[in-house]
Amino acid sequence: MLLAGVALAGGLMPSAGPAFAGSPATLTEALVEAYNNNATLQAQRASLRQADEQVPSALSGWRPTVQISSAVGHGFGTEKINPYNSYGSNAYTVSENRNTLESQVTLDQPIYKGGKTIASLREAKNQVFAARAQLLATEQTVFLNVINAYVAVVTDQQLLDLQKSNEQVMQQQLHDTQAQFSVGEITMTSVAQAEASLAQAKEQVDVAQGNLQVARENFRQLVGDYPADNPAPPQPVLLPVKSKGEAGQAAISNNPNVIASEFTDAANKDAVDVAFSALMPQIDVQATAFNQQGSSGIGVVQNGGSVSAQLTVPLYQGGSEYAAIRTARAKEQQSFAAILDAQRNAYQQAGQAWDALSSTRAAIVSTNAAIRADAIALDGTEREELVGTRTTLDVLNAQQLVLNAQVQQVQNIATLVNNSYTMVAAIGRLTVRDLNLPVQEYDDLKYYDAVKYAGFGTGEAADKAAGLTPSGALLTASPIPAITDGRASGAAP
C-alpha cells in the first residue's frame, strides 16, 4: 500500500542523506530536485532580488548627483573698427575666427525632500520583507504541487499493479470456466460472463497505464525530470499541531501569505508618507565649476564657480499631488483589507485540511474492514461455486468488490498523505528548513547585502557576491522579522 509509516525525525520529514543521482526515487529527492530546478521558484527568487533593489534606489535620495557637461565650437565673422570715421582714415575690418571650449561640473546635494527619502526607505524595506514572505509562499506552493504529483505517480503505479493483478485473476477465471464448460458443468453464459470480465479488466489496465503516463508528465513539469520507475511510497507528515483550533491560530500567525500581506500593507502606509512629501518644502545645495576657452576672445580663458542653496515651496501643482495622496491612501485601505482576507483564507485552509484528515483516517479504517470482509466473502463464494450453489457471475461480482475496496484504499491513503502536507502548508511549515531537506538553501540576504549600499554597478559584482548562477543561488535562507505597529521590527534588512 501507499502508506509506509509516519515521518518523525528532525523536522517534518526525515532527511534522505547525501545528494542523489538519477531520477527521483523518493519524495525527499523529488523535493530537492524541485527546489533546485523549479522554474516558478527561480522566478520568485528573481522577483525578490528586484525588491532588494528598491532599497539602494531609496537610499539614493540622500546622495548627491554629479554631472559634467562640455561643448566644443567654432566661431567666425567680421568686425568693423571706427566705421563712422568722417574721413575714412583708420577705419578697417577685422576678421574673427576662433575655437571655443566650455566645460562645467555641477553637484546637486539634496538636504531636505519633505520626508520623502525616509519614507521611501521604510517602504522599500517593507517591500523586501513582503517579497521574502512571498518567496516562502511560492516555495510552499511548489512543494505542495510536487508532493501531489509524486503521490499521484505512486498511486497510479499501485492502481496499475492492482489492475494487472486483476487481469491475471480474470484470465485464470476464464480458463477455469472454459474447463468447466468443456465437461458440461456450466453453460456458455458463464463463459461469456468470464470473457466480458476479462475484457473489462484489460480495458482498466489500459486506462491505468494512461493515467500513470499523465502523472509522470505532470511530475516532470514541476521537477524537471521524470520520477524513477518504482518510486518509494511517501509517508504522511507528522503534524506540529494537536487540534483544529491550534491549527487555525498557527495559520493566522505563520502562513506566509498572511505575513506578506502585512508587510505589503506596511509598505503602502509608507507610500502615503511618500505622497505627502510632495506638499512639503525642499532644500538643495548646488555647486558648479566652469572653464571657458575662447568664448570671449582668442586666447581668453575664464574659470569660475558658484555655490548656492535653493528653497522650493510648492504652492499649487495642478492637483496631481493631492490625487497621488488619495490614491496611496486607497491602496493602503485595500491592502489592509487584504490582510483580513489572507487570515481568513489561511484559517479556512487549515480547518478544511484538519477535517479532511479526520474523515480520511476514518475512511481508511472502514475500508480496511471492507477489504477483510470482501476477501472472506470471495473465498466463501468460490467454495460455494464448487458445490454448485453459486454461479460464475457471483464469483466475478465478489472479485470486483475486493478490487474496488483495494482501489479505494489506495486512493484513501493518497488523500491522507496529500491532506497532511496541505495542513502543514496552511500553517506555514512546508519549507525547505522545516522539511529538513538535504539541500543548500537559497540565501535571501546575500544579494541584498551586496546591493543595499551600492552606488555603482550593473549587477555582475552583486551576482558574484551572492553566489548566483543563471538558475538562482541555493544558499542559506533567513527568517522573516515580526510586525509591530504596521512597520518592520527588529534589525534592518
Predicted local confidence at residue 97, as pLDDT:
73
17: alpha, beta or left? (left if phi > 0; alpha if psi -120 to 50)? left
* 3-state SS, residue 22: coil
Query: What pTM value is reported for the model?
Result: 0.82
Predicted local confidence at residue 313, as pLDDT:
94
Enclosing H/E stretch for 30: helix 27-37
Residue 93 has phi, psi (to 5 degrees) of -115, 135
Residue pair 345/257 in contact by the 8 Å Cβ criterion: yes
Residue with cell 456458455: 188
Q: pLDDT 10s per residue in the chain (493 long)?
A: 444 333 323 334 433 333 445 688 899 999 999 999 899 999 999 999 999 999 999 999 999 999 999 888 777 767 666 665 555 556 666 667 777 788 899 999 999 999 999 999 999 999 999 999 999 999 999 999 999 999 999 999 999 999 999 899 989 888 988 988 888 888 899 899 989 999 999 999 999 999 999 999 999 999 989 999 989 999 999 999 999 999 999 999 999 999 999 999 999 999 999 999 999 999 999 999 988 876 666 666 778 889 999 999 999 889 999 999 999 999 999 999 999 999 999 999 999 999 999 999 999 999 999 999 999 999 999 898 888 888 888 888 899 999 999 999 999 999 999 999 999 999 999 999 999 999 989 988 998 998 888 888 877 777 777 777 644 544 433 344 444 443 343 333 4
**How many angstroms separate the CA atoms of 212 and 81, rounded?**
102
Predicted local confidence at residue 482, as pLDDT:
44
Predicted local confidence at residue 389, as pLDDT:
84
Q: Which residues pair with 290 in a beta bridge?
A: 104, 304
Residue with cell 489506495: 410
**How many angstroms separate the CA atoms of 336 and 315, rounded?**
32
| The residue type at 284 | D
Residue with cell 478490487: 403
Enclosing H/E stretch for 62: none
**How many angstroms separate the CA atoms of 408 and 414, rounded?**
10
Enclosing H/E stretch for 161: helix 116-182
Rg over CA atoms, the chain: 38
Residue pair 274/148 in contact by the 8 Å Cβ criterion: no
Segments making up each domain of the chain, as ranges:
27-64+114-279+321-488
441: alpha, beta or left? (left if phi > 0; alpha if psi -120 to 50)? beta
CA angle 314, 319, 324 (to 5 degrees): 95
For residue 286, the Cα-to-chain-centroid distance in whole angstroms is: 45
The sign of the CA dihedral 385, 390, 393, 395 is: negative
Return the CATH fold of 27-64+114-279+321-488: Outer membrane efflux proteins (OEP) (1.20.1600)
Predicted local confidence at residue 486, as pLDDT:
39
